[in-house]
């Protein structure tokens, strides 16, 4: 960690008090991913925006098609106007990704596990191939958290986090972070951060530092609870399908086990029923709160079709399988038997 601080310090000619603040905050973020450099941003989307600002007009970018809805919106509706060409693909198929890399491909934007379908991409295989063909790989590691997945050690160039989620952990702040080891890219990102000014407020930096202290223990409990809830849902006839990378029934469970040391706290599931049934289930839940966010200590439930992924076109939603009966749970750190009972009571008809 001390080494990290020296690395960051090299770029800074500023007041000593500010140096100490940046050392503590961005140094702690870097340490989470075992990285040499970290840069904090006003939000996860601001962090993503900074990565795209590394590119020249004319660049081609490959993107996970099943990913955070806001990332797709940022790429399709904003950056495509600046002659950056985004191609959205199914990242479960490594071969397909590799074949799509051309001389113009400068960036691979990878999410794993994805939101909301919890698909897994082979980070090591894709990063290695991309590197050999001259493209950098950035991984949105928000869902896994640095506790369960370390993309830099798998060969990725940049790790992105929405610190709003697990790293913050209490649904009371908005922030983003980029972690990396490449000093050339770090210098460019430091300039973007300095020139564009999209940074955390001091109070949010303080909150994130507070949160980092409990990250490891929170993640352990999130994962324990998620495994208990996912197993319980699987045995309930009202659920058609349960998607959780930690279940042996997950089609990519072995790849998940290979590159992750745990499976985090997000579960998606399909109910056996129409939209009315799903809506009644969602409103009957008492411990799971209906909300878009995730990664906090309190359990949340989300309906991707009408909430987080409403900005995704209907065609793409259908292609991906974001159907009206799909729900996404962000399992908190409550007692797992309370969470399972809550689901059971919400499934009962009045
Ligand atoms: C929330 C989220 C983001 C965006 O982060 P904000 O902090 O809300 O801007 C990006 N990726 C994933 C996977 C997310 O869950």
Q: Where do the structural domains in the chain lie, given as residue ranges?
A: 2-212, 215-346
The pLDDT value recorded for residue 12 is: 41
pLDDT tens for the chain, residues 1 to 350: 444 433 334 334 344 444 455 578 999 999 999 999 999 999 999 999 999 999 999 999 999 999 998 999 999 999 999 999 999 999 999 999 999 999 999 999 999 999 999 999 999 999 999 999 999 999 999 999 999 999 999 999 999 999 999 999 999 999 999 999 999 999 999 999 999 989 999 999 999 999 999 999 999 999 999 999 999 999 999 999 999 999 999 999 999 999 999 999 999 999 999 999 999 999 999 999 999 999 999 999 999 999 988 888 899 899 999 999 999 999 999 999 999 999 999 998 76
> Of 229, 243, 61, whose CA–CA distance to 143 is shortest?
243
15: CA distance to ligand 1 center in Å? Answer: 32
Q: How many CB atoms lie within 10 A of CB 313?
A: 11
The helix or strand, by DSSP H or E, that contains position 108, with its residue range, turns out to be strand 105-111
Angle between the 336-347 and 215-234 helix axes, to the nearest 10 degrees? Answer: 40
The pLDDT value recorded for residue 15 is: 43
> Of 33, 29, 259, 261, whose CA–CA distance to 154 is shortest?
259
The pLDDT value recorded for residue 44 is: 98
Residues with CB under 6 A from ligand 1: 43-45, 68, 70-71, 115, 140, 142-143, 162, 164-165, 174, 176, 294
Q: Whose CA is nearest to atom 8 of ligand 1?
A: 44
Q: Whose CA is nearest to atom 7 of ligand 1?
A: 44
70: CA distance to ligand 1 center in Å? Answer: 7
215: CA distance to ligand 1 center in Å? Answer: 17
Query: For the range 277-282, what are the long-range contacts, defined as Cβ-Cβ under 8 Å and sequence gap of 24 or more?
Result: 277/325, 278/303, 278/324, 278/325, 278/327, 279/303, 281/327, 281/346, 281/347, 282/327, 282/346
The pLDDT value recorded for residue 23 is: 77
CB of 131 within 8 A of CB of 154?
A: no
291: CA distance to ligand 1 center in Å? Answer: 14
The helix or strand, by DSSP H or E, that contains position 314, with its residue range, turns out to be helix 314-320
21: CA distance to ligand 1 center in Å? Answer: 25
Strand ranges (E), 141-192: 158-162, 176-180
Q: Ligand 1 test: best mutation among 142, 166, 174, most atoms within 8 Å of CB? A: 142
The pLDDT value recorded for residue 4 is: 40
| Position in ligand 1 atom list of the atom nearest CA 174 | 7
Q: Ligand 1 test: best mutation among 29, 42, 44, 168, most atoms within 8 Å of CB? A: 44
236: CA distance to ligand 1 center in Å? Answer: 31
Burial 106-135 (b: 16+ CB within 10 A, else e): bbbbbbbbbbbbbbbbbbbbbbbbbeeeeb
What is the token pair recorded at 128? 């290695």
What is the token pair recorded at 65? 């098609």
The alpha carbon of residue 164 and the mean position of all alpha carbons in its chain are separated, in whole angstroms, by 10
CB of 140 within 8 A of CB of 110?
A: yes
238: CA distance to ligand 1 center in Å? Answer: 30
CATH architecture label of 2-212: 3-Layer(aba) Sandwich (3.40)
The pLDDT value recorded for residue 267 is: 98
Q: Specify the fold of 215-346.
A: 3.90.1150
Cα separation of 165 and 179, whole Å?
A: 16
| Position in ligand 1 atom list of the atom nearest CA 45 | 9
């Amino acid at each position: 960690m001390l080494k990290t601080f020296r690395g960051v310090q090299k770029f800074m000619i500023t007041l000593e008090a500010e140096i100490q603040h940046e050392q503590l905050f961005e140094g702690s973020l870097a340490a989470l991913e075992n990285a040499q450099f970290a840069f904090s941003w006003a939000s996860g989307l601001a962090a993503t925006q900074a990565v795209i600002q590394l590119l020249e007009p004319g660049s081609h970018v490959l993107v996970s098609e099943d990913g955070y809805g806001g990332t797709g919106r940022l790429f399709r509706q904003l950056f495509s106007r600046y002659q950056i060409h985004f191609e959205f693909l199914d990242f479960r198929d490594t071969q397909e990704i590799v074949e799509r890399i051309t001389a113009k491909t400068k960036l691979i934007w990878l999410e794993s596990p994805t939101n909301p379908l919890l698909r897994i991409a082979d980070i090591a295989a894709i990063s290695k191939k991309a590197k050999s063909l001259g493209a950098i790989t950035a991984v949105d590691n928000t869902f896994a958290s640095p506790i369960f997945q370390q993309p830099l050690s798998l060969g990725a160039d940049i790790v992105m986090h929405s610190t709003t989620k697990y790293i913050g952990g209490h649904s009371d702040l908005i922030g983003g972070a980029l972690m990396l080891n490449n000093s050339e890219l770090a210098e460019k990102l430091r300039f973007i951060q300095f020139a564009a000014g999209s940074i955390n407020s001091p109070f949010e930096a303080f909150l994130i530092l507070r949160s980092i202290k409990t990250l490891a223990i929170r993640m352990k409990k999130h994962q324990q609870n998620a495994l208990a809830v996912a197993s319980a849902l699987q045995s309930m006839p009202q659920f058609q399908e349960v998607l959780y990378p930690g279940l042996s029934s997950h089609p990519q469970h072995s790849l998940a086990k290979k590159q992750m040391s745990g499976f985090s706290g997000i579960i998606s599931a399909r109910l056996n029923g129409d939209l009315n049934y799903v809506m009644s289930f969602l409103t009957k839940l008492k411990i799971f709160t209906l909300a878009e966010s995730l990664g906090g200590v309190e359990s949340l439930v989300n309906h991707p079709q009408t909430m987080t992924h409403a900005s995704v076109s209907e065609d793409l939603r259908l292609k991906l399988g974001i159907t009206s009966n799909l729900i996404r749970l962000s399992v908190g750190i409550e007692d797992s038997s309370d969470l399972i009972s809550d689901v059971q009571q919400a499934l009962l008809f009045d």
